[in-house]
DNA sequence: GCCCATTTGTACGTATGTATG
DNA sequence: GCATACATACGTACAAATGGG
């Protein structure tokens, strides 16, 4: 899914993967995406990289984050 | 200018300082703001914190960045 | 074209703070 | 109180782009 050798920045690659999982319903609306820690483990990325990817999705309005609870897929428009 | 003990995150404090310097013409339109490294030294902050602050201003449209050249104050609207 | 200095971009690993349940 | 989860911050390293010599 993620190619550490590829030209695209890892945080954008991860954002793309998560965006696709949201689009295809792997992460359904109003349900949490996996925690930063578990994404970090699944993709073997640094914490900051995962956070950066999620910030991208948040700026797109694809997810919303609540500190202490998690990051949730935005409801369909 | 920046209070490491204050409740506000450092990157937001720094963004506020830079925003004010832009507003008051300390950093004039179409001129560069100081480099990340020099801001880092002036405010004694980590590189990532300075970058985060600049990202805030970029999202506001207050500055634009060109890799390899610098970050420039946006022209007046 | 080729180095080199400067500057921004990305990424890592880690530590600590804050909110929720 | 405790575990989980996100937020902030640090220091560091290297990559990529720019511009000058």
Beta-ladder partners of B19: none
Residue A1: per-residue pLDDT: 82
- What does the radius of gyration of chain B's CA atoms come to, in whole angstroms? 12
Q: How far apart are CA A12 and CA A23, in angstroms?
A: 16
Six-digit token pair at B55?
């990202």
Quickly give B50 CA vs D18 C1' distance in Å.
21
Q: For chain B, what is the mean pLDDT?
A: 96
Q: How far apart are CA A74 and CA A29, in angstroms?
A: 6
Quickly give B68 CA vs C11 C1' distance in Å.
18
**pTM of the entire predicted model:** 0.89
Domain formed by B10-73, architecture:
Orthogonal Bundle (1.10)
Q: pLDDT tens digits, residue range B9-22?
A: 999 999 999 999 99
Nucleotide lying nearest to A4, CA to C1' measure: C11
Domain boundaries, chain A: 10-73
Q: What is the mean pLDDT of residues A55-75?
A: 91
CA end-to-end span of chain B: 27
């Amino acid at each position: 899914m993620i190619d550490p050798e590829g030209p695209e920045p890892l945080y954008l690659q991860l954002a793309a993967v998560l965006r696709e999982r949201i689009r295809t319903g792997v992460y359904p609306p109003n349900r949490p995406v996996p925690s930063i820690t578990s994404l970090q483990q699944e993709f073997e990325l640094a914490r900051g990289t995962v956070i950066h990817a999620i910030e991208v999705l948040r700026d797109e309005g694809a997810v919303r984050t609540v500190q202490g609870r998690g990051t949730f897929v935005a409801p369909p428009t």
